[in-house]
């Protein structure tokens, strides 16, 4: 067994011990003790009990032997019952709690780029969904292993003392079973890995059919048929994987479990032992019974070992994944200056400068942003406009250091942003994204977002400023109302525009020096949009605001507008300057204004 396998399994024992010491100790040692008690009960004592009867010892001797075995067995049963019904379930919960907390912590701070890497993403999904099961399984394997080794050593020693030739059958069985089990387990692991991406596809289709988010689209479009086909195609691929990989596994299982276990040990060897007892008559009845029991325990133990030892290897492969996930280091944090060389953030709002910035998403060829340079002046509002897919959102992701630039640099107060502590730097920003999410918790939580000591009055003020005040007034439980009905039958479902107002309230509540709003008014009606613009302008008087919007009626209020096309800034200036320039911005603005006019004419009939 190689060092890595031992190290990985030892890691799980230590991890589990730190979370639940009693459970781990009992789990590891109980089965070894159990094997010793069973040896005493079924191998060692029967010889004395039966020989006492055969050689006419007083009946009281047999009775005392029997009572002794009964007391040990009953006491042992009690200890086992307590362990399996009380200590084990609680221990498993404690270990899972610790492990999941660590995994969720890493998941919430890992780089966004991880989601762009399918191999990492697969492992990540696996770690979240499987780690608790695999940890319990690994500990269970160690439990079985220690118990079985004890069983084989005790019964094997007894067996060898009475019939040493048996060692030949034992070794043949062990070598054959392990050889074939190792191969079979490798194949099982490979099959499991090949199935993961396919299962993810199937899970996606299931999600689409049970999540409320998709319910409307499903009812109004024939997309269900396409999804059924995707599900069917995935099933075909799954069957293909199973067909191509499981055939050798059948032969390996037959050789390991029957040929080298049942046939060699339970067949040939038992016959050999019987000959010693029945033909040569060299053993007492008691020795014969104990010998038969010992043989069964050694053969059973070896069969278990031949499965368990390779299981250690299989667990090791899974533990390796958990370990590497737990050891995950953010690439962005690694690119930051070491803590001792980091610069303190200024106490005032400083200029943010993009200097010849280029950026390509990992795994894509063409740079999306090319040689971008501009400065966000403090306390000013800046609008970024451009066609779909121009790279506006990407620009804000670079700004908040959710990704690092490939070329050029971003400076805050004249210092490269990599020189600041990553989390402290990100804390400068309050942001709302196009694909913002609300959480199935209270409205207050959805605004304060887990910030320590939430201020109720401030939460209400932020909601009112974002235009949510009227809706809030209609809610009987106010900011304690639960959002969605996921965990609360009395929970409230919000409209798209209302949800967007809550997302904006988050930003207002966070009260950061720099505000980033990506399509903040896309779901708002014109009056709400106007009110929100007013509120943000008020808030922004002492902040830097960056917003992206396709509604140029919103962007015209910005101090500075940047128009992006094909990864470059093609126009920049105030609304008036860009209108005077009569370029692409002016064209887009006039087109929208024209639409408004046509709409208005159609409405009023004038
Ligand atoms: N994680 C990613 N990996 C690879 N490509 C991406 C990723 N995220 C976005 N893109 C691509 O980058 C391009 C720009 O996306 P971005 O979201 O920045 O555009 P945008 O200007 O904000 O567009 P919109 O106006 O539609 O919101 C798109 O073509 C998109 O497909």
pLDDT for residue 495 is more than 90: no
Residue 260, pLDDT above cutoff 60: yes
Atom of ligand 1 nearest to the CA of 550: 25
Query: Could you tell me which residues are beta bridge partners of residue 357?
Result: 372
The answer to whether residues 394 and 308 belong to one domain is no
Residue at a domain's end among 297, 326, 355: 326
Mean pLDDT, residues 246-258: 87
Residue 328 to residue 356: CA distance in whole angstroms: 31
Percent of the chain predicted with pLDDT > 70? 96
Which residue is associated with the tokens 């409205």?
A: 443
- pLDDT at residue 85 above 60? yes
Query: What confidence score (pLDDT) does residue 604 get?
Result: 47
Q: Is 606 in the pocket of ligand 1 (CB under 6 A)?
A: no
Whether residue 406 sits in one domain with residue 521: yes
The pLDDT assigned to 113 comes to 81
Report yes or no on 239 lying in a domain.
no
386 belongs to a structural domain: yes
Q: Which two tokens stand for residue 183?
A: 């191969």
Q: What is the pLDDT of residue 362?
A: 81
Residue 600: pLDDT band with limits 50, 70, 90: very low
Looking at the structure, do residues 383 and 282 belong to the same domain, yes or no?
no
Please spell the DSSP secondary structure of 185-231, one letter per residue. HHHHHHHHHHHHHHHHHHHHHHHHHH-GGGHHHHHHSTHHHHHHHHH
- Rounded to an integer, the average pLDDT of 113-132 is 77
- Whether residue 532 is contained in a domain is answered as yes
Reported as a single tens digit per residue, the pLDDT across 344-358 is: 999 899 999 999 999
Q: Kindly state if the Cβ of 390 falls inside 6 Å of ligand 1.
A: yes
Q: Do 475 and 582 fall within a single domain?
A: no
Element (H, E) at 403: none
Same domain, 395 and 506: no
Whose CA is closest to atom 24 on ligand 1? 388
Is the pLDDT assigned to residue 596 strictly greater than 50?
yes
| Ligand 1 pocket residue status of 121, Cβ below 6 Å | no
State which of 294, 326, 358 marks the end of a domain: 326
Residues 491, 527, single domain; the answer is no
Residues 347 and 393 placed together within one structural domain of the fold:
yes
Number of compact structural domains in the chain: 3
- Judge whether 234 lies within some domain: no
**Nearest CA, atom 31, ligand 1:** 389
Q: Would you say residue 287 lies in a domain?
A: yes
- Cα separation of 284 and 297, whole Å? 20
506 and 526 share one domain: no
pLDDT digits (tens, 9 = 90+) for 363-380: 787 889 999 999 999 988
- Whether residue 495 contacts residue 525, with contact meaning beta carbons closer than 8 Å, is answered with no
- Backbone φ and ψ for 487, nearest 5 degrees, come out as -115, 0
Task: Assess if residue 122 is contained within a domain.
Answer: yes
| Helix, strand or coil, per DSSP, at residue 36 | helix
CATH number at residue 176: 1.20.1560.10
- Looking at 467, 488, 511, which one is the last position of a domain? 511
pTM exceeding 0.80: no
394 lines ligand 1 (CB under 6 A): yes
Q: Are residues 50 and 173 in the same domain?
A: yes
Q: Are residues 32 and 121 in the same domain?
A: yes
Q: Which domain holds residue 463?
A: 438-511
- What's 459's domain CATH number? 3.40.50.300
Bridge partners for 563 per DSSP = 385, 571
Residue 402 DSSP one-character state: S
Is the pLDDT at 560 greater than 60, yes or no?
A: yes
**pLDDT of 598 strictly over 80:** no
Instruction: Based on the fold, state whether residues 586 and 517 are members of the same structural domain.
Output: yes
pLDDT tens digits for 184-222? 888 888 898 899 889 888 888 888 888 877 876 787 777
pLDDT at 291 over 90: no
Does residue 398 line the site of ligand 1, with CB under 6 A? no
CB contact at 8 A, 116 and 258: no
Mean pLDDT of the chain: 85
Separation of 361 CA from ligand 1 center, angstroms? 9
Task: Identify the weakest region by mean pLDDT among 16-20, 123-127, 135-139.
Answer: 123-127
**Is there a domain that residue 177 lies in?**
yes
In a domain, 498, yes or no: yes
* Same structural domain, 401 and 502: no
């Amino acid at each position: 067994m190689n060092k890595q396998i031992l190290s990985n399994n030892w890691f799980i024992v230590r991890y589990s011990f730190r979370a639940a010491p009693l459970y781990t100790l009992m789990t590891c040692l109980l089965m070894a003790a159990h094997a010793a008690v069973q040896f005493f009960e079924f191998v060692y004592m029967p010889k004395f009990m039966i020989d006492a009867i055969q050689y006419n010892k007083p009946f009281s001797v047999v009775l005392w032997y029997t009572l002794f075995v009964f007391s040990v067995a009953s006491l042992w049963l009690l200890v086992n019952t307590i362990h399996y019904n009380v200590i084990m379930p609680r221990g498993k919960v404690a270990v899972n709690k610790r492990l999941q907390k660590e995994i969720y912590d890493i998941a919430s701070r890992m780089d966004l780029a991880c989601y762009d890497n399918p191999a990492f993403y697969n492992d990540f999904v696996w770690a979240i969904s499987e780690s608790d099961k695999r940890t319990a399984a690994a500990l269970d394997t160690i439990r079985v292993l220690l118990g079985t080794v004890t069983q084989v050593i005790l019964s094997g020693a007894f067996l060898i003392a009475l019939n040493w030739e048996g060692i030949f059958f034992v070794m043949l069985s062990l070598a054959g079973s392990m050889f074939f089990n190792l191969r079979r387990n490798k194949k099982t692991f490979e099959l499991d890995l090949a199935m993961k991406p396919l299962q993810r596809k199937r899970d996606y289709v299931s999600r689409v059919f049970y999540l409320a988010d998709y319910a409307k689209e499903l009812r109004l479009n024939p997309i269900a048929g396409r999804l059924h086909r995707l599900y069917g195609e995935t099933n075909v691929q799954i069957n293909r994987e199973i067909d191509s990989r499981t055939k050798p596994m059948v032969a390996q299982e037959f050789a390991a479990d029957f040929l080298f276990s049942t046939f060699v040990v339970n067949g040939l060897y038992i016959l050999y032992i019987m000959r010693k007892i029945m033909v040569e008559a060299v053993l007492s009845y008691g020795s014969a019974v104990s010998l038969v029991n010992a043989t069964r325990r050694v053969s059973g133990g070896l069969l278990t070992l031949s499965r368990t030892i390779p299981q250690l290897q299989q667990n090791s492969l899974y533990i390796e994944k958990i370990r590497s996930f737990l050891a995950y280091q953010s690439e962005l944090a690694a690119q930051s200056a070491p803590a001792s060389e980091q610069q303190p953030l200024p106490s005032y709002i400083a200029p943010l400068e993009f200097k010849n910035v280029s950026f390509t998403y990992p795994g894509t060829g063409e740079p999306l942003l090319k040689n971008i340079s501009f400065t966000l002046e403090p306390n000013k509002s800046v609008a970024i406009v451009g066609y779909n897919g121009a790279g506006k959102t990407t620009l804000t992701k670079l700004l908040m250091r959710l990704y690092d630039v490939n070329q050029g640099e971003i400076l805050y107060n004249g210092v490269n942003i990599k020189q600041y502590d990553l989390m402290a730097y990100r804390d400068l920003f309050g942001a709302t994204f196009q694909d913002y999410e609300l959480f199935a918790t209270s409205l207050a939580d959805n605004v304060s977002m887990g910030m320590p000591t939430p201020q109720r009055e401030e939460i209400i003020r932020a909601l009112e400023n974002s235009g949510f005040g009227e809706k809030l007034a209609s809610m009987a439980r106010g900011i304690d109302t639960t959002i969605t009905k996921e965990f609360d039958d009395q929970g409230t479902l919000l409209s798209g525009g209302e949800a967007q107002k809550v997302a904006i309230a988050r930003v207002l509540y966070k009260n950061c020096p720099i505000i980033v709003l990506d399509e903040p008014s896309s779901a708002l009606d014109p009056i709400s949009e106007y009110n929100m613009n007013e509120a943000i302008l008020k808030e922004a008087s002492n902040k830097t605001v960056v917003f992206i919007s396709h509604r140029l009626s919103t962007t015209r209020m910005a101090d500075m507008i940047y128009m992006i096309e094909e990864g470059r800034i093609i126009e920049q200036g105030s609304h008036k300057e860009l209108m005077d320039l009569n370029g692409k911005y002016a064209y887009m603005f006039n087109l929208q204004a024209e639409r408004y006019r046509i709409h208005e004419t159609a409405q009023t009939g004038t």
